[in-house]
Structures are given as C-alpha cells and as structure tokens.
Chains A and B, each alone.
Chain A
C-alpha cells in the first residue's frame, strides 16, 4: 500500500493541475489575508485590550471574502482534482490489470490512493496555514495565544476531513464511471449544488413541508426556518462552514441562526459576552463534526466495497 501511496504522492506533487490550483489558492489566500491584516491593524489602533485578534486574520473578510470562506469554496475542488481520475485513469492506460496481478491485495490500490490524497491535502493546507500565520505575525504584529493556536489546529483537522470527503466522493465516481470527463463533471456538479444551490433547495423543501400561510405568524416562520435549517444540514458544505465558523469565533455559542434561538438562549447570548473556551466551542459543533467524519467514512467505505466487488474482467 505504501508503494502505491508513494507513487501517487509523487504524481500529485508533480502534476500540473495540482500546481496550478495550489498557486491559485496560495495567491488568493495571501492577498485576502493581507487585506484582512491591514484592516485589523487599522481597527486595532486605539483599542486598549483586544482579544482573539489573531483569529480575525482568517475570519474577517478583506475586500471580498475571508480566508475561511475561500477554503470552504475551493477546498472541495482540491479534493476533486486529486480523486476524479484515480481509478479510471489506470483503466484508461490499461495499468489496472497489471497492478492487480502483482502480489498486493486489491484494496491496497484504493487505500494507497486515498492515503496519498489525504497526505497531499494535509501538506497543502498546513503549509498554507503556516505561511499565512507567518505573514500575519509580520503585518499585524500580534502573537497568537495558545488557545488561538488550538482553534486553528482544530480548524485544520476539520478542513482536512472535509476535503477528504470530496476526495472520497470523487474516487467513488472514478470507480463508477469509465470516462474521465464524466466523473469529473459529476463531482463538480455535486460540488456546485452543495455549495451554491443548497440554500435555495432547502428553502424550497421548507416551503413545501411547512408553508408560511400567514407572514405575520412568528410560529409559522420559525417552523419554516427550522425545516430549511434541517434540510440544508444534508449538505457537507453547510456542515463544514457552520462548524468552522463556530470553531474560529469564540464569541459564537450557537450553531443555529438567530431567528431560531429561544428566548432563554437569546437572553444568555446577550448577558454573557465573554468568549467561550475552546472545548466549549467544540462541544457546540460536535454533532456537525461527527456528521462530517461519518460522511467521509461512508463515502470511502462505499468506494471501497464497490471496487472490491467489481468483476476483474471489467477492469
């Protein structure tokens, strides 16, 4: 398995499409973080005792979007370009038959490819984060506290899991579809749907399930919103963005939107303005994190079984 993993890693890092995407992400990340940093610096002048400044570097939008939003959008693409041709490229070049007639277990092929993808994603995201942290230290001049470092670390782990979900999904498509274009398009289509259209879809579903007959009736509106919320949780993109925004923002202590908070919850939100400690933030989004991990595992599990049960002739 490690042999295949090693070769795939070498392939990833020398492939042009990975380099292009990496440069693109790096460039955008540097620019947006730099803009955020200068904004923060201006805002900080005159404040006596700011807290959790360092996290703001990643979560405040510069001119267009914050780094976290950007990764939420583009992370999946990273997973997709590494996975969409994992198996069918080997089929295409007629190397899969040769590979499985070597003295290795068949699952070593797919495990090795998945591992290589996860390692590449980890290296990419971690190095990106470190670069930006370094730049942030220079421009803002604020040293992050341990808790902020902890939050960033948790954010990194969740992001890697999220990109791995897309990697697993695109590997599944590369097993199911013979043609490279079909599997790439299927993965990208799903990505676009989940990241951009899930909101509309959730609204539609909510209107169908719990229609708002009387716009004046707050009960009905809350019911409607609650349904939309539940439906949108089916999208890993929504799960991910909610989880990470809570983790990176210590002042945020609920994962639902404001309409849905009960009176007591709202009261407590207004009363206590102190930041949550890291473990409490994690507790708030724990269901999201488990769901995300489960989705990733299910995705890889399905690809694994499909690949193992496939008749070798068709390989």
Chain B
C-alpha cells in the first residue's frame, strides 16, 4: 500500500496570514481519512494545493506520485473533488450534466454512455437521470455530485462536507455510499466534515487542523488514548474539543 497523498512542510501564505502552516501528512491507499478542523482552519486551501489549483508558498506535495504544482492535469484526471455546496447547470438534466463532465474528461462518446449509466446506478439516481437538475432535492444533488466524480474512475476522492444539509436518511445513504466506494472499488477517500459523529462512523484515520497547523493525526483510538486516557468507547467530539481548547 503506497501513499496516495504525501506532503512535506506544505505552507501557504496569503500576505501576512498563514493559511496552511508546515503540513506534513501521508494518506495511504484504501483509507477513508477524516480531515477535521474549524472553519477557516486551512482545509480548503490544503485541498486546492493538492489539486494544483493554488501553488504552495513553500514545501511540496505529491498526489498519486505527481507534483500538483507541476502537472495538475495529470492529477485532475484521477482525482475527484466534490466542493462544498457543489453547483450544477440547473437547466440541464442530470444525464446531460454527467455527459458534459465526461466530455471535459475526454471520455470517448461511445464509452461515456455506459459510464454515465454506471455512475447513476452507483448513486441510485438511475430513475431521475432525465429530470432537470433544478428540480432535484438537496440529497439528489449531492449524489449527482458523487456520480460526476465516478465518471472519471477516480483513484482518490476529496469530499468537502458531502452530508451537509441532508436529512438523516440521506446522510446514512451517503455514508454507506462512500463506504462502499472505498471497499468495493478501493478508492481512497479524504473527507472534510464538521459532523464528527459521521466521521467517527466511517473514517479509518483522522487529522485535526486548527489555525493552519495539523495538531493531531492518527486513528480515533490512538487519539483517544492520547487525550482521554482510554482507547475504547470514546467519542470523537470530546477528543476534538480537547484539542480545540488547547490551541
């Protein structure tokens, strides 16, 4: 199992403000990694640097063995990124949105059709593919967002708040979907979320970032052992609050 994401002293400054401060992290293949932290902690900036959408001020990163600052296209071909509150072209149907994404990813037209059906089936939207996206519910939009990522057969998924604003049933379905993608297709997942309960349910390892610095990294048991003194039966929220108060 090789490292899918590897960073060394990754730093990004905006003027005087340090958004990401010396981040060193390694995420391995097949993991579901929970990336936690308060708003404005630098999670999104980190993701943008991993995708090559922003250049680091210093330090380096490797995603799937490629330097995002050098060859962002190579990375974007293999990494699916679902931004927070993802948007769609509301005047197109779900299928048309997917087809547009397939074209942007340069999928040959004859293969794209099958891929689109497969992606829709994977997220359980095959019945709604021909409805205008403007008429989709929030849960359907999130699932369509995942379907868009699946079209390119990603090796790594970066999901930013995929369950935000979903009802309990939708949340459970979304988490199950992420889990099945990870176990069934061996896709590595990096999950950013504030919903710690959900993170605890599906993530194999978590990292906590506060004010640009990574303050904790490990499995939930390890962190619990470190902060609360006992490894089992602990709640991630409690651990998180401990870290938060200390910094």
A17 vs B126: C-alpha distance in the bound complex, in angstroms? 33
Q: Mark A89-128, 1 if CB is under 8 A from B, else 0.
A: 0000111011111111100000000000000000000000
In the complex the two chains form, is A101's CB within 8 Å of B86's CB?
no
A6 vs B103: C-alpha distance in the bound complex, in angstroms? 10
In the complex the two chains form, is A93's CB within 8 Å of B44's CB?
no
The answer to whether B147 has its CB under 8 Å from any CB of chain A is: no
Note all chain A residues with C-beta closer than 8 A to B89.
93, 95
- Interface segment among B1-9, B24-32, B77-85, B233-241: the answer is B77-85
A42 CB → nearest B CB, Å: 49
Note all chain B residues with C-beta closer than 8 A to A312.
48, 53-54
A99 vs B148: C-alpha distance in the bound complex, in angstroms? 11
B221 CB → nearest A CB, Å: 34
In the complex the two chains form, is B104's CB within 8 Å of A3's CB?
yes
The answer to whether B243 has its CB under 8 Å from any CB of chain A is: no
Note all chain B residues with C-beta closer than 8 A to A213.
none
In the complex the two chains form, is A3's CB within 8 Å of B103's CB?
yes
The answer to whether A7 has its CB under 8 Å from any CB of chain B is: yes
Number of cross-chain contacts by CB at 8 Å: 57
A311 vs B85: C-alpha distance in the bound complex, in angstroms? 19
In the complex the two chains form, is B88's CB within 8 Å of A93's CB?
yes
A8 CB → nearest B CB, Å: 11
Contact count band on B: 20 to 34
The answer to whether B132 has its CB under 8 Å from any CB of chain A is: no
In the complex the two chains form, is B73's CB within 8 Å of A103's CB?
yes
> Which residue on chain B has the smallest CB distance to residue A102?
B104
The answer to whether B87 has its CB under 8 Å from any CB of chain A is: yes
A196 CB → nearest B CB, Å: 35
Contact count band on A: 20 to 34
Note all chain A residues with C-beta closer than 8 A to B105.
102-103
A104 vs B152: C-alpha distance in the bound complex, in angstroms? 13
The answer to whether B45 has its CB under 8 Å from any CB of chain A is: yes
The answer to whether B101 has its CB under 8 Å from any CB of chain A is: yes
The answer to whether A271 has its CB under 8 Å from any CB of chain B is: no
> Which residue on chain A has the smallest CB distance to residue B75?
A103
In the complex the two chains form, is B77's CB within 8 Å of A103's CB?
yes
The answer to whether A313 has its CB under 8 Å from any CB of chain B is: yes
In the complex the two chains form, is A311's CB within 8 Å of B54's CB?
yes
Note all chain B residues with C-beta closer than 8 A to A311.
54
Q: Which one of A6, A7, A98 contacts B83 once the chains associate, using CB atoms below 8 Å? A: A98
Note all chain B residues with C-beta closer than 8 A to A102.
76, 101, 104-105
B212 CB → nearest A CB, Å: 14
> Which residue on chain B has the smallest CB distance to residue A7?
B100
> Which residue on chain A has the smallest CB distance to residue B80?
A101
A308 vs B77: C-alpha distance in the bound complex, in angstroms? 20
Beyond A93-B90, A101-B83, A311-B54, list 13 extra A-B contacts (CB 8 Å): A3-B100, A3-B103, A4-B104, A94-B83, A97-B86, A98-B148, A101-B53, A102-B76, A102-B101, A102-B104, A103-B104, A313-B44, A313-B48
Interface, chain B (partner A; CB < 8 A): 44-45, 48, 51, 53-54, 73-74, 76-77, 81, 83, 85-91, 100-101, 103-106, 148, 152
Q: Which 8 A-B pairs have the closest CB atoms?
A: A94-B87, A93-B87, A103-B76, A3-B103, A103-B77, A102-B104, A95-B87, A312-B53
11 intermolecular pairs with C-beta atoms under 8 Å apart: A93-B89, A94-B85, A98-B86, A98-B148, A102-B76, A103-B77, A104-B104, A105-B73, A312-B53, A313-B44, A313-B48
